[in-house]
Structure formats: structure tokens, C-alpha cells
Structure 1
Amino acid sequence: MRQHPPPAARPASWREVAWMFLKLGTIAFGGPAAHTAMMRDELVRRRGWVSDERFADLMGATNLIPGPNSTELAIHLGYDRARWRGLLAAGVCFILPAALMVTALAWAYVTYGSTPAVEGVLYGVVPAVIAIIAHALFGLLRTVIKNAWLGLLAAAALAAYLLGVNELLVLASGALLAAAVTVMRRRTEASHALIGLPLLGIAADERLAQLFLTMLKIGSVLYGSGYVLLAFLRGDFVERLGWITEQQLSDAISIGQVTPGPVFTTATFIGYLVAGPVGAFLATVAIFLPSFVFVGLLTRLTDRLRSSPWTSALLDGLNAAALALMAGVSFELGRGAIIDPLTAAIAATTLVLLWKTRLNNAWYIAGGAAIGLLHSLLT
């Protein structure tokens, strides 16, 4: 049978990348694990843009750099498909829907003193998201867990995460342990360097400049979950600058979590509170800009990680640990979302449909939202 070139090697238009990630940015509820699962379903399972192995490598590699990992994965997938135009199109279009929604909600918050209720929608959407994540995990399992050793490593990483060990420590330990075992086996030596990002400055109004530089700093150095983002924002905007209150910070984090797309759009909300629409725009650009720079540099490194035995083993260990973290996050999300027979039925039905059909994820999200809204009206 004639062999076709890998999808990423075929010429592709940045417009198809833009359209795909604009859609994903509009429906990707549920946080980074859900975003990753939806990207895999759309780009690996439905469209064949990349292989499962390549997807797993990119997923693992983005954990090496600071910033919002699911956004960075989107940026790197865009680069794989349509090079530099694809990189920009994927990142901007994945961020844009959430940034616009959060800006609108921030306007409502400032104008009316509250945000529109979304609990009914989330009641039905999150169980569907859990099923999408579970389906992606099973799909990636055979690709990432290549042998019993990596299976044990993933199990240990999952246990460590559930016991409260920091995510970055889990990832680093998995990668380094796998690399160390390979080094001992093959008696090879190598070195690895991380790339840094210089701070940029802007000449503008002092308050806007400080807002921009503070968000830029956070985007440049932040590893870990939304809880780490919360700590950075509290330290800078509540305690050091005193620009927002604890309640406003809590509301900003909530809006970032309940809207689709990156949780880092919390920065958009805070920017609006600090300086209106201009502040929202500058804060969004500042917190995501390092991700584009880091991924641009990472594109030169990722392919080389498979070129030697120990760096390939490092990536295998990183992928196994990242998969374990994804499982741990989805388990915790599921405990809070699947709370009664109806939510369990939503999750189970979505999982069956994912296995038996090739329906677009948007249908599962829309169906879950409709059931959630109906449930909220009837109770």
C-alpha cells in the first residue's frame, strides 16, 4: 500500500489553523487537561494533523517551559502545521474567544457589580468534559506507556500528585529518573540547558506600564496550576500594588475558570478592573507574550530530544509523568462534577459517543450546556 507523508509535512494554510483553534478556544471548557484532550481529539483522531507520538512529545515538551501549557501546546501544534504563521494563528485564535468573553464579563462586573450566573451551564458541561479527557487518556496510554517501567513511573507520578506533591516536581522527577536510568544503562553523558526570556519594557503611562510589566513577569516565570497563578496575582495586585481587593481577585479567578480557553485570561479581567479596555488588552498581551517566545525557541529543541538515547528517555519519562498529572487532574475534577445520576449519565453517554462516533466535541459541550440549563430551570 502506498505510504503518504505525515500530515505535518504537507503544506498547510495558516487559515485552517486559525479556524481550528478559534473553534477550540470557543468550546474548550474545563482547564488545561480538557484543552489537551480536545486538541488530541480534533487534531489526532479526527483530522490526523499529527500522530499520537508527536502529540505526546509536544505535550511533554511544553511542560519544560513556564506559562499556560495548553496554550503553549496549541501554539506548538500551529507551528507544526503551518510554521510561523501557524504558530501565531493558533496562539492568537485560541486565546481570543476567552479574552473577549472575559472582557465582556469584566464590563458587566464593573457596571452591575456582579457577573452572570453560569452554574447551570457548568453542571452539564463539566461531566461531558470529563468524558472527553478520559477518552484522550485511554488513547494516549499505548503511545506514552511504552513498557512496564514507564507504567510504574506513571503510577508513581499519579500517586505523588494525589498526595499533594507539586506538579513541577512530579514532572521533573519523572523526566530525570527516566533519563538517569538510560544513562546508567548506556553510560552516555549529555547536558541540558533551559532558555530564559529577557524582560521587555514599554514607554507609556506609568500605571499601564506597571500593569504590562507585572503581567509579563508572571507569564515569564510561572510554572504549575491555577493555584500558583492565584498566588502570583495576589502577591502583586492585592498585596504589593493594592490595585484590587481579595474579593475582586476571587471573582477574577472564577471568571477565568468558567469561561472556555486558557485560565490565564484571568489577567484580562484584572487588567479591565485596573485600567478598563486598554488595561484588559495590555494584560492579555503581556501574560501570553512569553508563551509565544518560549514556544518559538522550543521548536528548535523538541525534534532534537529524540535524537539521542538519554534525551529520548527524558522525554518518555516526562510524557509519562504528564499523562499521570492529566489523569490526576481529571480525577479531582470528576469528583466535583459527577455528583448525581444525571451528571454520571452525561459523562457515560459522552464517553460512549466518543468511542462509537466521530462527532465534533462542540456537540458534546452544547448538549451538556443545554441539559445543565434545563436542569437549573427545573430545580
Structure 2
Amino acid sequence: MTTPPPAAPAECEPPSTVSFPEALRYWFKLGCISFGGPAGQIALMHEELVERRRWISERRFLHALNYCMVLPGPEATQLAVYIGWLLHRTPGGIVAGTLFVLPSLLLLILLSWIYLAWGHLPLVAGVLYGVKPAVVAIVAAAGWRLGTRTLRNPSLILIALAAFIAIAVLHLPFPFVIAGAAVLGIAGGRLVPGHFAPAASGHGASGQPSLPALIGDDTPPPAHARPGWRTMLLPALAGIGIGMAAWGLLAATLGEGHALARMGGFFTKAALLTFGGAYAVLPYVVQNAVDNYHWLTPAQMIDGLALGETTPGPLIMIVSFVGFVGGWSQAVLGGQPFLGGVAGAVVATFFTFLPSFVFILAGGPVVEATRDDLRLTAPLTAISAAVVGVILSLALFFAWHVFRLGAAPRDWDAMAMIVAAGAALALIRYRLGTIPVIGACGIAGLVISYLR
């Protein structure tokens, strides 16, 4: 086999600097093209920031990702905030996270309005009939992909199985499941550390040694990324103050029992208590938004996930759909359903993402000082294993409603099962993208609805 030619001298030098306008343009571009859920978004960032632009090295990128995965909230957004913060301090982190989310919020507001205003039309209903089984397949495929990377030994497989049973069978609260996994990770890190160490990450994705990066493996943390009361306490106090002021304004003007104030409180709690990324957050959102607050129905939740899968930005942006439908259905602004929906979407998005900014801007200095510390990575590894079980429990929840498994076997929706099986095959076996699969399933649903 021919040995690749050595890199040119210019390629062996890391970038000298990254200007703030250059970073701003990149984060906005990422927010507009980041389809494919958290895995796809992280892959996009890795390809662009590690391999092409070399703003950050492979090892530093993965270390930041590990911290984001152990946090509650959307890891892809948090990773963007983290890298933006490393490059350009607090303004860089805020801009990176905001531009990563903003295009998706605006697009989801538009799609949610179309869905509620015209979703009952036969054309739209037929497309949604095919998209819903695709959602089942997408969630199951996400669990499969994460499981193949995460469940590397019997200890992690048992944790995933226990998490699935705890959620799907015992209906235990989600935070208890994640807390239990973290405790098992701490214990496992001491008793069998080899089972709970992070997966080795050698070279870059291409298999070749990584070229030097602006933020390299041995680059010392910049001044703003070093632990200290000013670099940690001030961002934490500022974030908490902003959140309390925003909720207090809603409660003072509308009342604590108003739907918007309840949304602010619930989505703050969801952001603080849910771990493992978007698919892990959804069971908690379903338990409360659907079952407790009745802001939307299970069918609408599935439709919302389908819309979230077809828009750029983090998948947890489904909370914008939940907020829009809740604001519309609860008439939060009286006789203005569209404006009520917009208010619900903005409130849900703001309170969901605010904690992520605080976690990164306040906790980043500690992470920079604790690279390769098993005490941090062992609980993360166990939580990642538990998240596999949680995601599969979500797939079961969606399948139960889409396939009508609660009815007699003769009333099960066989055509929906066939569409879901085809979508799963396309996603797992042939590795097709989410958007083409959803498009094909939407067409299939339209044809099936026409033939019936």
C-alpha cells in the first residue's frame, strides 16, 4: 500500500488565530445546516473544527464532548458553547450557542403554525401517517448507534438493561434512573476501572495522525478558562439571576399558575434533571407535557419529533414545538393563538437552554483542569450506558401509540410496522440520512392513505 505523502510545511502549522467575526459566521452556518440530530451535529463540528479548520485538537474536542455528555441538556449545543467559550471567552460561548439554536427556533415556529392550522387536511395527514413510523425507527436507530459505541462490556450492558426496565416497566422517575447510573459508575470506576474508562480515541477520524491545532493537546488553558471564583462564580450568579428574573416577570405579570409561568418552571426543571442528550430528555418531557399538564397529545408529540428531525439545530428543539402547541391550545394570550404559540415556544426554548450556558461558562474551568480524570469519566460512562436503555424505552413508547399495540392484535397497524421496519433498515443497515428517510416515509404514507 502506498504511503501518503507528508504534509506540506504550511499544513503542519496550527492556525495563528480565529477572529470573532469568522467564528460568528461559522456558528450561524452550523445552526442553518446542522441536520441529523446530536450525532450528526457533533460529526459536523468534528469534521469542520478538528479536521478542516483545526481550531481544536481531537483530544480536546473529545474531552469537551465528554463533559457535555455528563451534563443535563443537549450535548451538541453545549459543545458549541464550550468551543466558542474557549476561543472567545463568554461572548464567544453565548454567540455560538445562540446562533446554533436561533434558525431552528424560527423554522419550528413556522412549521408548528402550519401543523396546527392545516394539519387536519388529508394531504398533510397522509404524509404524517408515514412520518410517524419513521420516528419510531429514528429513535430505535439512535439507541442502536449509541449502544454499539457505548456498551463495550457486560457491566455497561446490565446498566442499560436496568435503565430500560426502570423506565418502561417500573415507570421510575427519570432523574432517579440517571442518579442510580452515576452511583454505579462511581463504584465501578473504583472496583473495575477498565469497564468504566472512556473508549480510546487515538488518531483522528481519518485514521491518520492529527495535525497541530490552535487549541492543541498540550495548549494550556487560556486565562478565562482557569479555575477561580471570578471565572466560575460570576457566570453562575449571572445565569441564575437572569433565569429567576425572567420567571419572576412571568409570574408577576401573568400569575404563578399561568401556563407560561408553568412552562418556565417545568422546562427549567427538565433542563436541570435530564441527562444524556435530546433522546434522553424526551421521556421526561412526554411524562409531564403530555400526561401531567396536557399541553399536547401523544400523537402531537410524535408529530413534533418528526418536525424536529427535519429541521436544523439540536433535536431538543422539540420543546419549542411543545411550547407552541401548549401556548396555542391553552390560549395563553387570549384570542391570539399564533402569538400565544410564539410566546410558548420562546419561553420553552429560553428556559431549556439557559442552564446549558451556565453549566459551560461556570463549569468549563474545572473541566479544563481535570482532563483524563477517571472520577469524572466513570460516571459519564455509566450514564451513557443508561441512556441507551432510556432511548429504547422512548422507542417503545412511540411504537405503542403508532402501531396501536394497546389494541387487540387484529387491530395493530401492520402497514405502519412495515414502514418503520423499512426505515430502520435504511438507517441502520444502509446508513441513509434522516431527511431522505423521512421524505420517503412521508411519500409512502401518502400513497397508503390514498389507497385505503
1:372 corresponds to 2:450: no
Q: 1:78 aligns with which of 73, 77, 80?
A: 80
Cross-structure match for 2:249: 202
Tell me the secondary structure at the aligned position of residue 249 of structure 2. coil
Query: How far does residue 151 in structure 1 lie from its aligned partner after superposition?
Result: 2.1
Cross-structure match for 1:311: 376
1:351 corresponds to 2:425: yes
1:47 to 1:314, Cα distance in 2 relative to 1, 3 A = closer
Cross-structure match for 2:112: 102
Cross-structure match for 1:332: 397
Q: Which amino acid in 2 is paired with 1:90?
A: F
Query: How far does residue 216 in structure 1 lie from its aligned partner after superposition?
Result: 1.9
Separation in 2, partners of 1:349, 1:46: 26
Cross-structure match for 2:200: none
Query: How far does residue 321 in structure 1 lie from its aligned partner after superposition?
Result: 0.8
Tell me the secondary structure at the aligned position of residue 165 of structure 1. coil
What TM-score comes out, normalization by structure 2 length?
A: 0.60
Separation in 2, partners of 1:94, 1:4: 37
Separation in 1, partners of 2:250, 2:162: 49
Moved more, 321-330 or 117-126: 117-126
Cross-structure match for 2:265: 217
Query: How far does residue 16 in structure 1 lie from its aligned partner after superposition?
Result: 4.8
Cross-structure match for 2:385: 320
CA contact (8 A) 1:137 1:327 kept: yes
Separation in 1, partners of 2:64, 2:395: 19
Query: How far does residue 23 in structure 1 lie from its aligned partner after superposition?
Result: 5.4
Deviations 1:243-293 (CA, angstroms, capped at 9, x unpaired) = xxxxxx446x75454131244222223334221244333332222212332
Query: How far does residue 211 in structure 1 lie from its aligned partner after superposition?
Result: 5.4
Separation in 2, partners of 1:306, 1:324: 28
CA contact (8 A) 1:126 1:337 kept: yes
Query: How far does residue 17 in structure 1 lie from its aligned partner after superposition?
Result: 4.3
Separation in 2, partners of 1:345, 1:332: 17
Deviations 1:195-250 (CA, angstroms, capped at 9, x unpaired) = 7945213389934995543332222223423121245535xxxxxxxxxxxxxx44
CA contact (8 A) 2:27 2:96 kept: yes
Tell me the secondary structure at the aligned position of residue 363 of structure 2. helix
Deviations 1:165-205 (CA, angstroms, capped at 9, x unpaired) = 2222111111112113335679xxxxxxxx79452133899
What TM-score comes out, normalization by structure 1 length?
A: 0.70
| Correspondences of 1:1-379 after superposition (within 5 Å) | 13-22=23-32, 38-41=37-40, 43-44=42-43, 48=47, 57=66, 60-63=69-72, 69=73, 72-80=74-82, 82=84, 83-106=93-116, 108=117, 115-116=120-121, 118-163=124-169, 164-183=171-190, 197=240, 198-200=243-245, 201-202=248-249, 206-207=253-254, 212-222=260-270, 223=273, 224-230=284-290, 233=293, 249-250=295-296, 254-259=299-304, 260-261=307-308, 262-264=317-319, 265-272=321-328, 273-275=331-333, 276=336, 277-299=338-360, 300-301=362-363, 303=367, 307-337=372-402, 339-340=413-414, 343-345=417-419, 347-348=421-422, 351-352=425-426, 355-356=429-430, 359-379=432-452
Larger Rg: 2
Q: Which amino acid in 2 is paired with 1:217?
A: G
1:278 to 1:351, Cα distance in 2 relative to 1, 3 A = same
Q: Which amino acid in 1 is paired with 2:253?
A: E
1:140 to 1:211, Cα distance in 2 relative to 1, 3 A = closer
Q: How much identity, in percent, do the aligned residues show?
A: 18
Moved more, 42-51 or 262-271: 42-51
Q: Which amino acid in 2 is paired with 1:229?
A: A
1:158 to 1:89, Cα distance in 2 relative to 1, 3 A = same
Tell me the secondary structure at the aligned position of residue 293 of structure 2. helix
Structure 2 unaligned runs (5+)? 1-5, 51-57, 85-92, 194-235, 274-283, 309-316, 404-412
